A and B are shown apart, each in its own frame.
Chain A
Amino acid sequence: MNSLKKPQKKKVLLMGKSGSGKSSMRSIIFSNYVAKDVRRLGATIDVEHSTVKFLGSLILNLWDCGGQDAFTETYLTSQKSQTFSDVGVLIYVFDVESRSFEGSNPRDLLTYTAVISALAEYSPSAHVFALVHKIDLVQNVFRDSVIQDRTLAIQEYSGVFSKKLKVYGTTIWDQSLYKAWGDIVKSLVPNLHIIDGYLHDLAEETSAEEIILFERATFLTVTNVTSELGERNPYSDRQERLSNVIKTFKHSLSKYTHSSTASHPFSEIAIKAPRFNLILARLTNNTYVLVILPPGDLEIELSRFNIMAAKDRFVELDIMGWAAGDTERLEGKLNGRIKDGR
C-alpha cells in the first residue's frame, strides 16, 4: 500500500522519424487539440518535456523527442543514459507513408533497432508500443494487410522486446488513436485492480450491462466492467469510439460556454432510449463513469443514486495517489466540490 501513497512518476518516451506525427497525437490526447488544429504545430526541437497528470495520482513525464536525424543521433550517443534510463513506456511512431521504411535501406527500422537496443540496455522492463501512424492515408480495404506487414517487419527489428511489443495502426482522424493510447495508459495505472474491484461492485448494485471508467481530461478508458449480456455487443471498438465522440462533444461544449477545455465540461449526460439507458456522470475529480442500463425510467433514477453512493469510495482512491501532505487540503477541496456539483 505504501506505493499508493506517493504520486507515481512514469517516464514516457515518444520517438520516431521527423514529421511522423508524434507531437500531433500528443496534443490531441493530452492538450485538447482537435485533429485539424495540429496543422499549427511546428517541428519539435530537441526534447519537449511535459508532465501530464492522469487520474490525479499518476504523473506521466512525457518526453516528446524531436525526430530529426541530428537529434536522434545525440539521443543515441551523448545523451544516451539520460534519455533511456527509467523509461516506463517507449512509444515509437512510424509514418505509414515513409519511403525509407522497407527496401534495401530501411532507415526507419535501423534507427528503431538502435533505439530499442539502447532501451534494452538502460530500461529492460519498459513497455514498447509501436504506432503505424497516418493510417488514414491507406484505403480502408488495405489497412489490415498493411498493418500486418508492418507488424511483422517491426517485430523482426525489436530484439528483446519483440514479445512484449504491441503494434497499432493509428490516425488522428478517428478513434484508432484512442484505442492505442487507452492501452498505453492502462499499462501505467498502478492501482488498476482496486479500481476494477470497486467497479465490479458498482456493476452488481446497478445491474448494469456495462460500466466504463473514463479519465476526465483525456477521456481515455481507464477500465471497464462488462456483463455477460454486454459482451454480446457487436461493437468491439466501442470504448475508443466513445472516447472519441465524448471528447468531440466536450470541445463543442467548451466552445459554446467559452470555458477552458480542461475544466469540467458537464455533470451528467443521460440518454433514455427504447433499448437502453445511459448515464455518463462525473464520478470523482478525475474520472467520469459511463453506465449502461436496461431500459425503463426507474432504472435510471435508481442507478443515479447508486453512482452517488459509490462516489465516496472512488474519491478515496483518487486521494490515495496524492502525496501524503496534500491529502487533507485536497479532501476539503474535493468535498466542497462534490457538494456544489451533483
Chain B
Amino acid sequence: MSRNDEVAEEVSDCFERRSSEAKRKSPQNFPKPDDNLMTSMNSANNEHKTRTNGDNEDLEPGNLLHADHKPRLLLMGLKRSGKSSISNVVFRKMAPHETLFLETTTTIRKEAMHSFMDFQVWDLPGQIDYLDPDFDAESIFGGVGAMIWVLDAIDNYMEPVSRLTETILHLQHSYPDIKYSVFIHKVDSLTEDFRDDTMRDVRQRITDDLYDAGLENPPITYYGTSIYDHSIFEAFSKVMQGLVPQLPTFEALLNTVSANCRFEKAYLFDVYSKVYIASDTTPVDMKAYELCADLIDIIVDMSEVYGWDRGQDQQETDRSQAVAAPSAESFVSNIKGYHLYLKEINRSALRAQVRQGFRLTIYRNLSFIGISKYSDFEISKVLVDQNMQAFQDTLLKVFPRG
C-alpha cells in the first residue's frame, strides 16, 4: 500500500477528472487503479520515483530509459487525429462521446499499465516536429517497442502519410526494432466500400513511399479503428500481443484449457483496458470478442457498484472468504445454449507471489474468459474450476520474473 500512497499524489489530478467525467470507473474489488494509471506530466523524477518503488533500484533519471525494460507504446499522428481520445477511451474508460470535450494535448502524456506486464503508453502531441535534430530523440524513441500512428480517415491523408514515412525513415537506422502500426481512425463515419478503399489506398501509398526510399517490407500493420465500437480495443490487443514474447506459450496453454473444458473460445483479458493478451488459436471471431468485452464491462460496473468497503461488518466474512473465494469469478448461463465463464487470475496468483517473496507487479487485472456451448457445463463446473487452478499455476511459471 505504501506504493499507492506515493503514487497517489501524482495521479490525484487525473482521478479527479476521472471521477467526474468517466461513467465507468475502475472496479473496487479489482486492484485499486492507483497503480494502473498515472499521468505524471513529463516529469522524469516522478517517473523515476514511481518506477523504482517496486524494485528498489537506484537509477539516475537519465539512465532510466535504458535500464527500464518496460515496453513502451508511442501514440503518434497529426493533431486532431484522435490520439488522446483513443488513449482516454482505452485506458481511462471514458465514454466515447465524452471525448468531444477533450482539449488539445500539449505535453507528452504517459499512461502506465501494470497488468500482465508493465508497459507505458505515451501520447505525443501532434504539433511538435520530433524529427528536429535539436530534439532529444533518444528520450522519446529509446526503448520503444511499438509505435501507433493515428491517421484521420476522414481528413486528407496525404500529409500524415508523408509525415509517417519521414518518421519511419528517420528512425529505422537508430531504432530498427520498433514495430509500426497504422490506425486508420474514425472509420465509423465511412461507408464499408469507402472504408476498404481508403485503407487500401493508405497502405499502398505508405508502401510505395517507403519502397522509393529504399525500405522494402517495412514492419507495418494496418487497422481500421473507431472509438465508437470495439475495433479500437481489437487493434490495441493485436499491437500489444506483438510485444508479448511468451505469446506462443499462452496460446498453447489456452488451447489445452479450452480443449479440456470444452470451451469454444478462450481469451486471456486485461480487465482494465479490455485488451486481450492472448486467445486460443481458433479463428478470432469479432463477435465473441465483443461479447467478452461486454461481459467485462457489466462485471466491472456491477463490481464497482457493490464492491464498496463495508468496513466492520465484513471482518468475519473476510476470513472465511479468503479460503472460499480466492478470486472473483462470474458465470452467465444459458444464453441460447451458450455459457460464459470468467475467472479472475490475479488474486490467488498474487498470493502465491507474496508467499514466495516475488514482486507484485505482474498478473494484476488478468482474467480468463471462456465461451462454452456444452450443455452440461454447469454440472461439470467443478472440473472446470479445477482445470482453471492448474492453468493459473502454469501461467505463474511462464512469467519470466518469477
- Listed in ascending order, the chain A residues whose CB lies under 8 Å from chain B are 36, 136, 139-141, 173-175, 209-210, 229, 232-235, 238, 241-242, 245-246, 248-249, 252-253, 255-257, 259, 265-276, 278, 292, 294-298, 341-342
Contact = CB atoms under 8 A, between A and B. Distances in A.
Contacts of A267: 333-334
B29 interface: yes
B333 A273 contact: no
Which residue, of B288, B299, B303, B336, has the highest number of chain A Cβ atoms within 10 A?
B336
Given A139-B101, A278-B302, A296-B324, A253 B307 contact: no
A257 B298 contact: no
Given A139-B101, A296-B317, A278 B329 contact: no
Contacts of B320: 296
B301 A241 contact: yes
Contacts of B309: 275
B306 A292 contact: yes
A342 B377 CA distance: 14
B391 interface: no
Interface in B286-341: 287-288, 290-291, 294-295, 297-299, 301-310, 313-314, 317, 320-321, 324-325, 327-338
Contacts of A141: 20
Given A229-B313, A252-B291, A295-B325, A274 B330 contact: no
B17 to A, nearest CB: 10
A191 B171 CA distance: 71
B334 A268 contact: yes
A266 B333 contact: yes
B347 interface: yes
B332 A266 contact: yes
Q: Which of A175, A267, A342 has the most CB of B within 10 A?
A: A267
Contact of B288 (A232, A256, A271): A256
A242 B305 contact: yes
B332 to A, nearest CB: 5
A140 B21 contact: yes
B329 A272 contact: yes
Interface in B208-231: 228
20 contacts: A36-B228, A174-B95, A209-B306, A229-B310, A235-B304, A241-B301, A242-B302, A248-B297, A253-B335, A257-B336, A267-B334, A268-B331, A268-B334, A269-B330, A271-B329, A275-B306, A275-B309, A276-B306, A276-B307, A295-B325
A266 B321 CA distance: 28
B327 to A, nearest CB: 8
A269 B332 contact: yes
Contacts of B401: none
Contact of B20 (A140, A268, A292, A295): A140
B97 interface: yes
A341 B334 contact: yes
A257 to B, nearest CB: 4
Nearest to A268: B333
Nearest to B28: A275
B66 interface: no
A255 B308 contact: no
A257 B328 contact: no
A242 B301 CA distance: 8
B23 interface: yes
B329 to A, nearest CB: 5
B95 A296 contact: no
A246 B299 CA distance: 10
Given A229-B313, A266-B333, 13 more contacts: A173-B95, A238-B306, A241-B301, A248-B298, A249-B298, A253-B291, A270-B331, A274-B321, A275-B309, A275-B314, A276-B29, A295-B324, A296-B317
Given A173-B95, A242-B305, A271 B330 contact: yes
Contact of A245 (B298, B325, B337): B298
Contacts of A292: 306
Interface residues of B, number: 48
Contacts of A249: 294-295, 297-298
Given A36-B228, A140-B21, A295-B321, A274 B347 contact: yes
Contact of A271 (B21, B321, B328, B347): B328
B306 A233 contact: yes
Contact of A235 (B97, B294, B308, B324): B308
Contacts of B101: 139
Contacts of B307: 273, 275-276
A152 B29 CA distance: 41
B333 A342 contact: yes
Nearest to B300: A245
A295 B301 CA distance: 18
A142 B151 CA distance: 34
Interface string B264-301: 00000000000000000000000110110011011101
Contacts of A278: 302, 306
A209 B302 CA distance: 14
Interface in B14-33: 20-21, 23, 28-29
Contact of B328 (A256, A272, A296): A272
A174 B23 contact: yes
Given A252-B290, A266-B335, A270-B331, A136 B297 contact: no
The 5 closest A-B pairs by CB, nearest first: A252-B294, A267-B334, A257-B336, A295-B321, A245-B301
A245 B302 contact: yes
Contacts of A257: 335-338
B382 to A, nearest CB: 11
B293 to A, nearest CB: 8
A292 B309 CA distance: 14
Contacts of A245: 297-298, 301-302
A342 B334 contact: yes
Contacts of B295: 249
A233 B308 contact: yes
Contacts of A297: 324-325
Contacts of A253: 291, 294, 335
A140 B22 CA distance: 11
B338 A295 contact: no
Which of A233, A235, A266, A292 has the most chain B CB atoms inside 10 A of its CB? A266
A209 B306 CA distance: 10
Interface in B153-168: none
